[in-house]
Amino acid sequence: MRMNTPHPLKKVLRLRPVVPLALPHRTIRPSSILGYDIPKDTVIIPNLQGANLDEMVWERPQEFWPDRFLKPGKNPKVTSFGCGARVCLGEPLARVELFMVLANLLQTFTLLPEGALPSLQPQPYSGVNLLMQPFQVRLQPRDLGAPGHDQCQ
């Protein structure tokens, strides 16, 4: 199945990719990227978040601005699932799952923050994944009018 990722999700994946750096890869022959020579046996670690926030590529790169993906013309590629020949094998599944989980959550509940929400600004971290600071949110079931919908547990 192929589906387009809704632009707010695409935007979140661009601004805060789950993994800011891709896996290390080693060149098996001399190569080049944008005119830079890469000798054989060089370890390359693509900086995915760096590419997603490159101001030479993106207009207002640090802004949460989902409508950018509605602008006519071709948008730059979001690299959050890797780049080159060895991109994430689970990308189509991950995109469908993200959409289904978020859509079901928002359809079923109103999300009400409890107390202060953490800053969305990037925090210093050491690890493979970008993590969110802990916060509390109350899930209030929506009354959709259909039988059984007010019985969420």
Give the residues lining the site for ligand HEM (CB under 6 A). Answer: 18-19, 22-23, 46, 48, 80-83, 86-90, 93-94
- Minimum CB separation from ligand HEM for residue 13, in Å? 7
Smallest separation, CB 133 to ligand HEM (Å) = 19
Q: How far is the CB of 88 from ligand HEM (least distance, A)?
A: 3
Nearer to ligand HEM by Cβ, of 13 and 68: the residue is: 13
Return the structure tokens found at 66: 């989902």
Phi and psi at residue 44, in whole multiples of 5°?
-115, 130
What is the sign, positive or negative, of the torsion defined by CA atoms of 61, 65, 71, 77? positive
Q: Which residue is nearest to ligand HEM (CB)?
A: 90
**Cα-based torsion angle of the residue sequence 79, 82, 84, 88 in order, rounded to the nearest 10 degrees:** -130
Quickly tell me which residue has 């080049």 as its tokens: 32
Annotated binding site, which residues?
88
